[in-house]
Amino acid sequence: MFLLLPLVLLGGETRAEEGFDNPNGGDILFWRDLPGGNCPGGGDNCHRGSPALADVNNDGKLDIVLTTGNGHIMAIRHNGSASGAVIFDVDIAPMIGMSSGSAVIASGAAVADIDKDGRVEIVVGYGADWNHNTKGGIIVLEHNGTLKPGWPNESIGKNNNDLPHSVFSSPALGDLDNDGDLEIVAGGFDKRIYAYHHNGNLMSGWTADSALLHRFPTWPNLVGSLADSTWSSPALADLNNDGYLDIIIGSDEGNFDSRWGGNSGGWNCPYQLPAGWAPGYCGGSVYAFDRFGNVLPGFPKYMLEAIQSTPAIADLNGDGNEDILIGTGTFYNTNSPSHPTNGFILSAVSASGGTVPGWATPKSVDGTIPGSPAIGNIAGDASPEVVIMSHNGGRIYAYHANGQLVAGFPMRPLARTGQSTNFDVGFGVILADYDNDGKMEIFVSQRDSITVVDGNGTQLTTKNNGADGKPAYATGGWLRNSPAVGDVDGDGKLELVVHDSRLYVYDLPNAGSEAEWGMFKQNAAGTSRVNAPGSLQQMPGELRMVRSLQNSNFGSGAMAVVNAGDLPMNYTVNTNNANSRVTVVNGSGQVPGNGSKTFTVEVRNVNTLNNGWNNLGTISIQATNSLGQPAGTATITLRIYRGNPHRTFLPISPSN
């Protein structure tokens, strides 16, 4: 059912009203009130967690997973207005030892099959983003909304009410130890970074020590803890190319100047510190840890503002190494009497903690950047762009991979009523193909609506309630989270998902099918990393086949083509340099992201070959990514044995 909504004024606030014709409104695929949607203390504008899109019920279509400020976790089917569309609606308060309706969630959900049972789990941080009498920690639900054994896990540190500290951070899910299942990573207000196995046990080495412990080895508060709180959410990527995922996260932990002793590295606080602040201590940091909780070389990177922004990860310059894009925070700009502007920057940090070509100097913007950047192709060129919105100034900035500004930026987007707005911590930019031009457009939350901006800086949504003929994608409450964009109804086109205390799913009839950064932290698992193009994983250099003399007219062997990237990869097997008796079955095709496909080498007339090993030449594999660019090659020598092979069995018995 499609409902077109006009915008009517209700007590100084606008709300989309259903059941009326509005040619300039967005087409609503469905909407529904969220049960128990009112926030602690009343109102409907407290929902900080951004929606995730994932197939929860295994029907092959994306479902909507969301959290509410009053402690609910919900999963809603793609046809969310229909009877039975709510897969589950769980008030987590009884699960965490609180009375019903008293829990608070500010984290977004991360969704993936963490235990490899074929069904996804839902992982959420809980606790308030303000001074509230509530518990904090991490909870995991099964696909049907029941509590997963081993959970919840409360934060170790306590708040002023002697309750476990909040986890504002939206978790990240990834296979840190390469054992086939997924681990869970999040940061807490208790200054700790947590890494759990899916069963709820902490990984070895976690919670991680502060890097400052080397300088101050007698400070017990730095053992298993950083020196300050964490608002940032973690990203996962292999920074040091050792084959294992690393953890990247921002922190409020600053550095100490030389008066504290040890090696300060020349650290200095160039502005007046907040009243009662420790002298000579200021700033924030970007941390990178390995799977054991060790700080990677070159990290942390200390900056002169707290780091509330969530990092975004991509290989900007194609050198085979991941790069880190991150904003800052608001603490010192707000609380220092000097109101310093040191945090008015967007930084790119290399995998080794150094600089990135074109980004040697952080990019200056017109305000702090507590929100999180997105990475995707908005310009239609051969490399991605980095997009961010400033907090104080309310402008969108877009940079090419080489650090140059994209033409048309910065620009100031306006909400549907013509006002600008701040872009706070927990917000993220969304990138998706709004108009089916093959390029990504920019989606940002503003006041009570979603603004869409083209890759040339032109705003595509209304600034004056539709008088300009452009569409509005409105809600009734002040948005404090990011939207999501994905194909939730399976029609091959994208939909826009946004919620305050009411969930709206807008049809985007002119949209394409691609969303390169379709939700907060890029994907439902929350890794905050660009989808890597399809890439051919290294293959063995030789394929050996064996045929006995009694059955030696035909031989065959199989090999797997493995895609090491996240996006599809095409491959072709070439037999030009192989013996004429060699043919290949399934010698071309497409391999899905992180998937594999098997081809078979067949050898005819084996009985005319010599006894023993025979060299049959080589085959070659050429791979291309989804853009048609080279994605790797391999050359494989073919050998076949004709004879009577013997098997030798060596019995093995346990020693006494």
Kindly report the CATH number assigned to the domain that includes residue 576. 2.60.40.10
**Lowest pLDDT segment from 358-367, 423-432, 503-512, 568-577:** 423-432
**Position 31 confidence tier, pLDDT thresholds 50, 70, 90:** confident
Q: Specify the pairing of strand 630-643 against strand 542-548.
A: parallel
Which structural domain, as residue segments, surrounds residue 579? 542-643
Q: Highest mean pLDDT: which of 14-23, 164-173, 603-612?
A: 164-173
pLDDT at 640 over 60: yes
Query: Looking at this protein, which amino acid is placed at residue 488?
Result: V
Based on the structure, what is the number of domains in the chain? 1
Which one-letter amino acid corresponds to residue 70?
N
627 vs 245, more confident? 245
> What amino acid is encoded at 41 in this protein?
G
- 649 or 212, higher pLDDT: 212
For residue 289, which of 347, 209, 198, 173 has the smallest C-alpha distance?
Answer: 209
Would you say residue 638 lies in a domain? Answer: yes
Question: pLDDT by residue (tens digit) across 608-620?
Answer: 999 999 999 999 9
* pLDDT average, residue stretch 291-319: 96
Token look-up 């054992």 returns: 179
The helix (run of H) or strand (run of E) holding residue 33 is strand 27-33
Taking residues 86-104, report their average pLDDT. Answer: 94
Asked if pLDDT for residue 410 goes beyond 80, the answer is yes
Lowest mean pLDDT among 14-28, 332-346, 407-421: 14-28
How high is the pLDDT of residue 78?
A: 83
pLDDT bracket for residue 14 (50, 70, 90): very low
**DSSP letter, residue 202:** B
- Domain membership flag for residue 630: yes
In a domain? residue 597: yes
Does the residue 606 lie in any domain? yes
- Rg (C-alpha) for the chain, rounded Å, is 27
**Residues with Cβ within 8 Å of residue 577, at least 6 apart in sequence:** 617, 618, 619, 620
For the cut 90, the answer to whether the pLDDT of residue 105 exceeds it is yes
Strand runs labelled E in 478-536: 484-486, 495-499, 502-507
Specify if 167 maps to a domain: no
Name the amino acid, one letter, at 476.
G
Confidence of residue 40 (pLDDT cuts 50, 70, 90): low
Interval 483-494: pLDDT, tens: 999 999 999 999
Give the Cα separation of 167 and 190 in Å (integer): 8
Does residue 364 belong to any structural domain of this protein? no
pLDDT digit string, tens, across residues 114-170 = 999 999 999 999 998 766 788 999 999 999 999 999 999 999 999 888 899 999 999
Q: What is the pTM of this model?
A: 0.86
Strand segments, DSSP code E, in 281-384 are 281-282, 284-289, 301-303, 312-314, 323-326, 345-350, 363-364, 374-376
Distance CA 337, CA 549 (A): 89
Across the chain, mean pLDDT equals 90
> pLDDT value at position 21?
34
Structure confidence at residue 656 (pLDDT): 43
Q: Is the Cβ–Cβ distance between 297 and 352 less than 8 Å?
A: yes
Q: How confident is the model at residue 4 (pLDDT cuts 50, 70, 90)?
A: very low
pLDDT given for residue 84 in this prediction: 76
Q: What is the pLDDT of residues 255-293, one digit of tens each?
A: 999 999 999 999 999 999 999 999 999 999 999 999 999
Q: Comparing 30-44, 178-192, 293-307, 400-414, which segment has the lowest mean pLDDT? A: 30-44
pLDDT of amino acid 655: 46
Evaluate whether residue 304 is within a structural domain.
no
DSSP string covering 96-157, please? GTS-TT---B-SPPEEE-SS-SSS-EEEEEEB-SSS-S---EEEEE-TTSPBPTT--EE-SS
pLDDT beyond 90 at 522: yes
CB atoms within 10 A of CB 566: 18
Secondary structure in 3-state letters for 606-636: HHHCCCEEEEEEEEEEEEEECCCCEEEEEEE
Q: Does 7 have pLDDT greater than 50?
A: no
pLDDT bucket at 35, cuts 50 / 70 / 90: low
- Report whether pLDDT(23) > 90: no
Sorting pLDDT into bands at 50, 70 and 90, what band is 100?
A: very high
pLDDT at 122: 98
Residue 215: predicted pLDDT: 97
Structure-derived torsion over alpha carbons of residues 563, 565, 571, 575, reported in degrees to the nearest 10: -60
pLDDT band at 645 (very low <50, low <70, confident <90, very high): confident
Mean pLDDT value across residues 67-74: 92
Is the pLDDT at 366 greater than 50? The verdict is yes
pLDDT band at 465 (very low <50, low <70, confident <90, very high): confident
Is residue 546 assigned to a domain? yes
